[in-house]
Amino acid sequence: MNRALLPLNRLNKQHYALFLAVILNTLLPFMLAGKAQAADLSEASIRLDRVGADEQFNTTTGYKVLVVLKPATVGSIAKVRVTFPTTNAFTINNTATNFDTSIAGIPSTYQGESLTGATITNNEAASVAGGAIVFDVTSMSSSSTLYGFFITCSATTCITNPSAGNAGQHAVTIETLTSGDAVIDNKSVIVDTVGADSDQVALTATVSPTFNFNLNANSIALGTQSTTTQDSGNVTVDVDTNAANGYVAWIRSEGANADLASVSTGDAISSTNTGSCVDPSRGAEAYLVDVNASAGTSGGGALTVAAEYDCADDAGDRKGGVISTTYEQIAQRTGVVDSDTLTLTALVDISAVNEAASDYTDTWEVVGAGNF
């Protein structure tokens, strides 16, 4: 028999109970103090860029994890540990260098409270094991500050969401640690994962094709003509279209000979010249059209006037193109536009032998078409 144990073996029950009470009273304060060391974080949140089943966080997708926390206890915070559940839940790559961090683009506020970027040493994880990702930090010194940072992936897939069969609520733990890995504050937050692409809303819309081609007037009153002056008058066309390839505009004369003809006399004012930008002379017959274009708000493409009608005018002597009985292109736009303006000006000169009459007339037909 071991005689050193003999006194303890001979203790009665009362003495034994007193012995245990002394031990417990001595150790309990230390046990409780150790347990109370870990307090709840004042705030904690995890936002996954995607919560759909099997979504992968890697350099291809660019998905990130936003970590937000407010310490309750400060003074010795050296690390932050984020632990994802890995049993029927997340798949976490165990290579620390695959986990980077960033504060670029973090929200300026979180629930209306200013969010301060956390300073992570080397902007990457210090270690990863069993779903626990540890980051060394140097900036968490205020219990009134809300801190945040992104977990990003620098190489291969670092986080994979639970499969569809394991979708649901999962507890992720956020902890602050001392340099010796003692827990200071912690909190469990819930993330809810869903089925594949069930975190997305697909939007569809239809934009109807449009084409507006509107003349501001349907007549030009040229008045009484003179052999010493050139008479003119114009109409404008407003063109709007969402046709990707723009539009084309044309003009033609409805008259039999494309001239200003008098029914009462049988005489007509016409152009003896043909070609582009005819330069008429006073006292010689001329019946021309000049086109000027003013560009509207365009989504692309160029506005051009057909060379025949795009004339550089002399002072007091405008030039123009000859109108025809068949449609001739006067302008075009090669993209969508809001409010192009085409100004069509009739230019008239008469000769001394044009007969007197008040019924010289012609009718233009001005049309356009969108190219969708």
Phi, psi of 75 (to 5 degrees): 115, -30
Per-residue model confidence (pLDDT) at position 154: 92
Per-residue model confidence (pLDDT) at position 28: 43
Do residues 203 and 300 lie in contact, with contact meaning Cβ atoms separated by under 8 Å?
Answer: no
Domain coordinates in residue numbering, the chain? 39-193, 211-370
Per-residue model confidence (pLDDT) at position 37: 55
Per-residue model confidence (pLDDT) at position 155: 82
Question: What CA–CA distance (Å, rounded) separates 196 from 236?
Answer: 57
Per-residue model confidence (pLDDT) at position 159: 98
Q: Does the global pTM surpass 0.85?
A: no
pLDDT lower than 50: segments of the chain: 1-11, 13-24, 26-36
Do residues 71 and 184 lie in contact, with contact meaning Cβ atoms separated by under 8 Å?
Answer: yes
Q: What are the angstrom distances between the C-alpha of 13 and each of 2, 7, 26, 278, 306? A: 21, 13, 20, 130, 117
pLDDT in tens, 2-32: 444 434 444 454 444 444 444 445 444 434 4
Domain pair 39-193 / 211-370, same fold: yes
Architecture of the domain made up of 211-370: Sandwich (2.60)
Do residues 348 and 287 lie in contact, with contact meaning Cβ atoms separated by under 8 Å?
Answer: yes
Architecture of the domain made up of 39-193: Sandwich (2.60)
